[in-house]
Chains A and B, each alone.
Chain A
């Protein structure tokens, strides 16, 4: 149980294009999903928290117009990197938790490697 998938696992795109990453909870309903970014040899940094049916809450320093998050259903959240640039190249990981209560555990997806040329 508690499986989270991400698609694609790897994407290469040209500078200036937009890329969409999907995060799905496969066997539970995720009222809250989280998007993280991980630079090489660094820890995970929370980018934003999204609750189903409402606007995402972005962490300080994260451009909400550049990183569009949609959480349209209880099993799917998407992150769209708009007008991607080489500095957006990174490993993006989503996680999901149910109910959204304090003690709910976050289950992580396998990550998406983005390379912007």
Chain B
């Protein structure tokens, strides 16, 4: 069955520090992978997506993610975190036309 694991429920980083949010998936075929961000009480905003091609994907707000097939991973990174990045981040894999989401990682940014 398709599944997405985000092993970190909470992460706290200092403003200006680098960030990496982990995501592992289980899917038999070529995965279509997404990262979304959700601010409190809001819907989801698409940060980036991977369908094929270059395994390093650039997204909005300075985020990037790298697809590693050998590790079944699609980790999200940002070189320098801003206080406005504090939010919850969801990794998702698409199968058919459905999305399966991970449990989410809450990012806290300390000044």
Indicate if the CB atoms of B97 and A46 lie closer than 8 Å.
no
A105 and B42 form a contact (CB under 8 A): no
Instruction: Compute how far the CA of A95 lies from the CA of B36 in the bound complex, rounded to whole angstroms.
Output: 13
| Given A42-B103, A108-B43, A110-B43: A102 touches B94 (CB 8 Å cut-off) | yes
Task: Please provide the chain A residues from 48 to 94 with a CB less than 8 Å away from any CB of chain B in the complex.
Answer: 49, 91, 93
Q: Are B103 and A93 in contact (CB under 8 A)?
A: no
- Majority secondary structure, B binding face: strand
A46 to B104, CA, bound (A): 15
CB distance from A113 to the nearest CB of B (A): 7
Assess the A111–B34 pair: CB atoms within 8 A: no
Chain A residues with Cβ below 8 Å from B32 are 102-103
* Distance, CA A107 to CA B43, complexed state (A): 9
Bound CA span A32–B98, Å: 10
In this assembly, does B41 line the interface, its C-beta being within 8 Å of a C-beta of chain A?
yes
B101, A43: Cβ atoms closer than 8 Å: yes
Q: Mark A33-54, 1 if CB is under 8 A from B, else 0.
A: 0100000001110100100000
Knowing A32-B97, A43-B90 are in contact, say whether A103-B43 is a contact too (CB < 8 A): no
Question: Is B43 touching A43 in the complex (CB atoms < 8 A)?
Answer: no
Which A residues are in CB contact (< 8 Å) with B83?
A: none
Q: Which residue of A lies closest to B46 (CB)?
A: A105
A46, B43: Cα distance in complex, Å: 14
Q: Mark B35-58, 1 if CB is under 8 A from A, else 0.
A: 010000111111001010000000
Q: Which of B72-105 contact A (CB under 8 A)?
A: 90, 94, 96-99, 101-104
Residues of chain B with a CB closer than 8 A to A104's CB: 97
| Complex CA distance for A93 and B104, rounded to whole angstroms | 16
Contact between chains at A102 and B43 (CB < 8 Å): no
Q: How distant is the Cα of A67 from the Cα of B49 in the complex, in angstroms?
A: 30
Q: In the complex, what residues of B have CB within 8 A of residue A113's CB?
A: 41
11 A-B interface contacts by CB (under 8 A)? A4-B43, A34-B98, A42-B103, A44-B101, A95-B44, A95-B99, A100-B97, A103-B32, A106-B99, A111-B41, A111-B42
- B-to-A contact residues, CB < 8 Å: 32, 34, 36, 41-46, 49, 51, 90, 94, 96-99, 101-104
